[in-house]
Structure 1
Amino acid sequence: MQHHEHLAGAELGSIERELYIDATPDVVYEVISDPRHVTEWWPDGATYEAVAGSEGSISFGDCSQGGKLVGFAVVEALPPRSFSFRWTQEPGEAARRGNSLLVTFELEPSGDGTLVRFRETGFREMGWEAAVLEATYLDHANGWEHFLPRLVSYSESVGSRA
């Protein structure tokens, strides 16, 4: 019987990444917060305003063809330093600890570019059983491995046009 290495409990608490982007914090902030930019590197659709307290939704794929629509609520919007939001709650449901995941982007000037600290937390508060927690965590970790490099390259292309 094959032995599967289970992730240590602590590791399922948050996903954290550091990215260096060759673009200014002003440009990067726009790209991570403005729905028109966000849809260029992450969801297919985004309906919200980039201000604290705004509630909306983002979508992946065509919702009439089995795509997914999830709630999106801006928690903090402090240009060009940080942007955070809760997502994955049911659309129309108020986002809170326990029904949504919290994503935070912190931006710091670094040379001519920007150091971005990305963090997604809230997995352990969702009340999922271990197998669901692990599967969802891995699904998100894999998802960000795909989308964050797109954030870097798209920000750099926007920055070079600025």
Structure 2
Amino acid sequence: METAMEYGSIERELHIDASPEVVFEVLSSPEHIREWWSAETTAFEPAAGATARLTWTDQDTGREQSAPFTVVEADPPRTFSFRWTYDETETEAAGPGNSLLVTFELVPAGTGTTVRFRESGFRERGWEAAVLEAHYDDHRQGWDFYLPRLVATADRLAAAR
């Protein structure tokens, strides 16, 4: 018997052979975001309320896709979270119901870090079922591709220090 997916949140737990300080730097610095997430980003401070823009360019077509994001919490080296995929034309700030929340919780684990990743807010967007499923699947596949790159980038930075 098949069970329907919940489409509530995407959660992953990763181990990185780098300190929480290094992992936090990789998550919150435009230079490293470019490396692991393949996104150009405008400069921003890793502090609550800071805003920036992520831009991905398709190497084959040159087509750009862009998304604003707002830092929700930056507590180095423990937590980095942001809201994204919101409509910038809304007068309301990014929040529950109009954006997705991405949280990275960094927990020391021996000489490395356990990263607890969660993206939530899909159901709260009010999308019809097919749109919800499409967005959820797109994000799930994206994180399954980019999170291993986060691990590799942090491991590489730690090894270079």
TM-score by length of 1: 0.90
In 1, Cα distance between equivalents of 2:108 and 2:141 = 27
CA spacing shift, 1:6–1:142, aligned 2, 3 Å: farther
For 1:22, give the aligned amino acid.
D
Unpaired stretches in structure 2, ≥5 consecutive residues: none
In 1, Cα distance between equivalents of 2:67 and 2:149 = 21
Is 1:53–2:71 an aligned residue pair?
Answer: no
- Once the two structures are TM-superposed, the CA of residue 22 in structure 1 deviates from its matched residue by 0.4
> Structure 1, residues 27-71: CA drift from partner, whole Å, max 9, x if none?
001001111111111142112321110012111116x94311111
Q: Is the 8 A contact 1:7 1:134 kept in 2?
A: no
Is 1:20–2:11 an aligned residue pair?
Answer: no
Which residue number in structure 2 is paired with residue 44 of structure 1? 39
TM-score by length of 2: 0.90
In 2, Cα distance between equivalents of 1:101 and 1:67 = 21
Which residue number in structure 2 is paired with residue 126 of structure 1? 125
Q: How does 1:1-162 map to 2 (within 5 A)?
A: 7-8=4-5, 11-47=6-42, 48-61=44-57, 65-91=62-88, 93=90, 94-162=93-161
Q: Percent identity?
A: 56
SS at match of 1:146: helix
SS at match of 2:48: coil
CA spacing shift, 1:124–1:154, aligned 2, 3 Å: same
SS at match of 1:12: coil
Runs of 4 or more off by more than 3 Å in structure 1?
none
Pairwise CA RMSD of aligned residues?
1.7
CA spacing shift, 1:91–1:159, aligned 2, 3 Å: farther
- Once the two structures are TM-superposed, the CA of residue 91 in structure 1 deviates from its matched residue by 4.1
* Aligned residue pairs, count: 155
Query: Please, which moves more after superposition, 78-87 or 41-50?
Result: 41-50
For 1:61, give the aligned amino acid.
T
In 2, Cα distance between equivalents of 1:27 and 1:135 = 34
Query: Please, which moves more after superposition, 30-39 or 83-92?
Result: 83-92
